[in-house]
């Protein structure tokens, strides 16, 4: 291989990262050191349950992949500053708050994982931003709240109709009792 030529494995890895960024454009960057295989498997499983992915990345290849896929130059520059040390990224298409919460909770239990920053909907997320979005309700919780909100008026209408029918029935009974 000649000097300046890119290895095919690196080209392939960069292409894979670009594809992941196109499919799951939101992500959280975490630094990891000394996390054992069982602990890694535990956090991977939790993240997969949220339909997200968890990847150890090579910083230089991720920088290259971001050039074509991260639209905001400001966000890209801020993210590049966080690409130091051994990193793992958790990618999510739609439920970054849940993924953030998993990583932050995992980091509290295992000192080897430390959330650094993230990227969501075209914006750079500082550590504080990641903490803030992790406190948002999850997608499932939001759907439950919406369903409950939609169900409440129906329940009130049904209850009101039952009371109306019951009062009509009482009125009919009183009128029938007076005629006798």
Of the candidates 47, 44, 26, the one whose C-alpha atom is nearest the C-alpha of residue 35 is 44
Q: Taking a C-beta distance cutoff of 8 angstroms, is the pair 57, 108 a contact?
A: no
- Is the pLDDT at 174 greater than 90? The verdict is no
Contact 104, 96 (CB under 8 A): no
Model confidence band, residue 2 (pLDDT cutoffs 50, 70, 90) = low
Residue 4 binned pLDDT confidence (cut-offs 50, 70, 90): low
> What are the residue ranges spanned by the domains of the chain?
8-136, 137-180
State the average pLDDT over residues 4-20. Answer: 80
Note the pLDDT of residue 99. Answer: 93
Give the CATH number of domain 8-136: 3.30.70.1730
Each residue of 107-163: pLDDT tens digit? 998 888 999 999 998 899 999 999 999 988 877 777 888 887 777 777 777 777 777
CB atoms within 10 A of CB 106: 21
Query: 135: Cβ–Cβ under 8 A, 6 or more apart, which residues?
Result: 97, 101
pTM across the whole model = 0.73
Q: What integer is the mean pLDDT of 92-113? A: 90
More confident residue, 173 or 12: 12
Give percent above pLDDT 90 in the chain: 31
């Amino acid at each position: 291989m000649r000097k300046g030529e890119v290895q095919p494995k690196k080209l392939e890895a960069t292409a894979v990262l670009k594809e992941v960024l196109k499919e799951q454009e939101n992500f959280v960057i975490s630094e990891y050191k000394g996390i054992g295989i069982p602990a890694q498997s535990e956090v991977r499983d939790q993240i997969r349950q949220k339909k997200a992915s968890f990847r150890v990345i090579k910083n230089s290849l991720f920088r290259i992949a971001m050039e074509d896929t991260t639209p905001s130059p400001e966000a890209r520059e801020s993210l590049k500053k966080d690409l130091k040390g051994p990193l793992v990224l958790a990618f999510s298409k739609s439920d970054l708050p849940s993924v953030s919460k998993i990583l932050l909770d995992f980091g509290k239990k295992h000192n080897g994982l430390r959330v650094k920053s993230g990227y969501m909907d075209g914006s750079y997320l500082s550590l504080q931003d990641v903490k803030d979005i992790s406190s948002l309700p999850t997608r499932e919780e939001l759907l439950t709240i919406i369903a409950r909100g939609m169900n409440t008026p129906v329940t009130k209408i049904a209850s009101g109709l039952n009371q109306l029918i019951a009062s009509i029935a009482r009125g009919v009974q009183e009128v029938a009792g007076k005629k006798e």
